[in-house]
Amino acid sequence: MTDDELRQRILDAAAELFADKGYGGTRTRMVAERAGVTPRVVKQLTGSRAQLFADVLATRPPSESAARVAAAAADPDAAPPVSVLLEAAGDAFASPRRSWNVVELEALSRAHTDDEVRALEASRVQTRKANLKAVTEQTRRAGGIDERIGDDAFVHFALALSAGLAVIDPVSESRPTQASWNELMARVGAAFAPPGFLLSADHEANTPWRLRIDIPDRPGGLSLLLNALGTLHVYVVAAYVLDSHDGDRTIDLALMAPDRVAADTLLAAAMTIGRSGYVMEGSLDDAGDLPTRVLDGTTELVTNPESAPAAAAMLVEADRFEVTDAAHGEDDATDVLRLQWTADRHVVLHRDWAPFARAEKSRASALLRLAASIASVAGEAEALGWVEPMKLGGTVWIRLARPEDSDAVAAMHERCSESTLYRRYLTAVGQWRDVTLRRLTGGHRGATLVAMSEDGTIVGLGHVFPDASAQSQTAEIAVLVEDAYQGRGVGTRLVRHMLELAERLGFDDVTATVLAQNDEMMRVLDSTGLTWSRHVEAGVLTLRATLPTAAPRLAPPSQNRADDAGADR
């Protein structure tokens, strides 16, 4: 082995020991043992321990993060400069050794007392600063840095931040999450941008993404979001407002981003403005006009109404769907959307990447109603709905509930008196809100009916759903009628149609729970002609009755259409 080859073996062994034990914990004999030579050979080929450390430092390559910044400085067209800076900030937090290796940190410490090491490390740091400044200047030329912020100050801040994180990493017992750190860094980066900017088109945006996020429901909120994404050279090709709630507005964006801009970087930039953000891979079709896509997707309903579940899944970009009978399957959840299609069948949609928004529930429900109406006109299905006379005059329209009924159902509850709500929910006033409005309006197994006055106001609500406490095919029924319409037969007519539905859905028995002193409800139940058994406990009356011969049972829930609907949109 030549002296040069032997010297390289010694340097490699020393680099491993300096990284593992530091300068103070490494001895010449340890290097000799690791390299398989004598201490005398080490001294002959490399000199003292201090010289050995200096030689190791001089020959070590830069860290992974520093190398990426150097590559971006050499090739400005490779990636948006802001994304390079955000990646470097993420590296500094997630894996400090990817930003500053242990030998470099040791050199930073020794530079205070060792002139030779100081000179070597100063040169390396200067190279880092030059590369970082080049990327900073790229960002400035593109219009992404406020003219009042100096490049030198920005570079000094970035180096100090990354080195400081690497120094304290071994002794940091608790750290924030990676997501919160990315959000902080993206917010800091956005603060460096000018108040209003228009970036030059330096990077091709070829990768489609979808972003859903809640932003402040205030003037300028959307503008701030678009600016934050713009710093990454991202194009917004379509934007939709899905919901407005609790001071936030839910925005759905179709984006085109440069190839080097990753999902985490996109989300970090968006989260500087909003919250509850979700990113998924998009499609080139996302840029198309939404009404046109909806009309194209629903054309098949005219000739094939049974394609409605697949069309509804595509409309809301569900990952999969199933058609189930009304008494089986999953109830609503953040990632599950259950919709009443007909009295007998429900459509259950699933989506993993983001919760369903209220507007999406309404859209999917409207499409299913359209399909049901087309089928009804063609004589292929029975329309479900009744117009009933009320006592004292007027009529009430009873129909299946819809997701978009949520606000009207909430308003009906607000108009109800404390005593009416207590008789329905057997709990303190106001706690009815613990039952989500989605389930109040059809997001559960079974069926929900609403009663509407002639002016379109919802004045009554009826539920038929499986009784989880029962071993047999038992349906629990419950009804609520607002005070102004009580005593006019609305509750009686609701209960009658609820019992029809229970028979149609194949239940054998029905049960109801009412306050023992609720004489009005008892009269309604007695008017049905059923024989009710009674059990009283703590002032609460549980009634049970056997239904007349039920309609033929529906088939078990169908799983044969669990397509990946979202992949083909």
372 lies in some domain: yes
What local confidence, expressed as pLDDT, does residue 253 receive? 92
For 57-90, the pLDDT digits (tens) are: 777 777 777 888 888 888 877 778 877 877 777 7
Question: Is the CB of residue 229 less than 8 Å from the CB of residue 255?
Answer: yes
200 lies in some domain: no
Domain holding 54: CATH number?
Answer: 1.10.10.60
49 lies in some domain: yes
| 129-138, 207-216, 430-439, range with greatest mean pLDDT | 207-216
Percentage of the chain modeled with pLDDT above 70? 90
- Region 468-482: what's the mean pLDDT? 82
- Give 534 or 80, the one with higher predicted confidence: 534
551 lies in some domain: no
For 11-63, the pLDDT digits (tens) are: 888 888 887 887 778 888 898 898 898 888 888 888 888 888 888 877 777 77
What local confidence, expressed as pLDDT, does residue 69 receive? 85
d(Cα 376, Cα 384) in Å, to the nearest integer? 10
Check whether residue 537 and residue 393 sit in a common domain: yes
Q: How many domains does the chain have?
A: 5
Check whether residue 38 and residue 111 sit in a common domain: no
Check whether residue 142 and residue 78 sit in a common domain: yes
Residue 568 has pLDDT above 50, yes or no: no
Mean pLDDT of the chain: 81
What local confidence, expressed as pLDDT, does residue 443 receive? 65
Check whether residue 268 and residue 392 sit in a common domain: no
What band does 563 get if pLDDT is binned at 50, 70 and 90?
very low
Check whether residue 376 and residue 393 sit in a common domain: no
201 lies in some domain: no
Domain holding 280: CATH number?
Answer: 3.30.70.260
Residue type, 441: T
d(Cα 240, Cα 244) in Å, to the nearest integer? 12
d(Cα 339, Cα 372) in Å, to the nearest integer? 13
Residue 569 has pLDDT above 50, yes or no: no
199 lies in some domain: no
What local confidence, expressed as pLDDT, does residue 567 receive? 34
Check whether residue 344 and residue 475 sit in a common domain: no
What local confidence, expressed as pLDDT, does residue 461 receive? 93
What band does 471 get if pLDDT is binned at 50, 70 and 90?
low
59, 77, 106 — which closes off a domain? 59
What band does 274 get if pLDDT is binned at 50, 70 and 90?
confident
Check whether residue 361 and residue 391 sit in a common domain: no
Residue 119 has pLDDT above 90, yes or no: no
Report phi then psi at 393, rounded to 5.
100, 160
- Domain encompassing residue 526: 385-546
d(Cα 44, Cα 35) in Å, to the nearest integer? 14
What local confidence, expressed as pLDDT, does residue 431 receive? 52
- Region 138-165: what's the mean pLDDT? 83
235 lies in some domain: yes
Check whether residue 427 and residue 394 sit in a common domain: yes
- Burial group, residue 201, by CB count within 10 angstroms (0-12, 13-18, 19+): exposed
Check whether residue 75 and residue 11 sit in a common domain: no
Which residue(s) pair with 546 in the sheet?
A: 509
Helices 115-142 and 102-110: crossing angle, nearest 10°? 120
Check whether residue 298 and residue 252 sit in a common domain: no
Scanning 490-533, the segments in alpha helix (DSSP H) are 490-504, 519-526
Question: For the ranges 68-72, 96-100, 312-316, which has the lowest average pLDDT?
Answer: 96-100
d(Cα 209, Cα 191) in Å, to the nearest integer? 24
For 237-262, the pLDDT digits (tens) are: 988 888 888 888 999 999 999 888 88
Q: Is the pTM of this model over 0.85?
A: no
Check whether residue 482 and residue 405 sit in a common domain: yes
Compute CA distances 461 → 39, 162, 351, 449, 492, whole Å. 90, 60, 29, 6, 12
What local confidence, expressed as pLDDT, does residue 400 receive? 85
Residue 169 has pLDDT above 50, yes or no: yes
Residue 481 has pLDDT above 90, yes or no: yes
d(Cα 206, Cα 223) in Å, to the nearest integer? 23
Question: For the ranges 114-118, 182-186, 443-447, 514-518, which has the lowest average pLDDT?
Answer: 182-186
- Region 165-186: what's the mean pLDDT? 79
202 lies in some domain: no
- Give 311 or 295, the one with higher predicted confidence: 311
C-alpha closest to that of 16 among 43, 65, 48, 52? 52
Check whether residue 517 and residue 393 sit in a common domain: yes
What band does 139 get if pLDDT is binned at 50, 70 and 90?
confident
Residues 6+ apart with CB under 8 A from 186: 86, 228, 268, 269, 271, 272
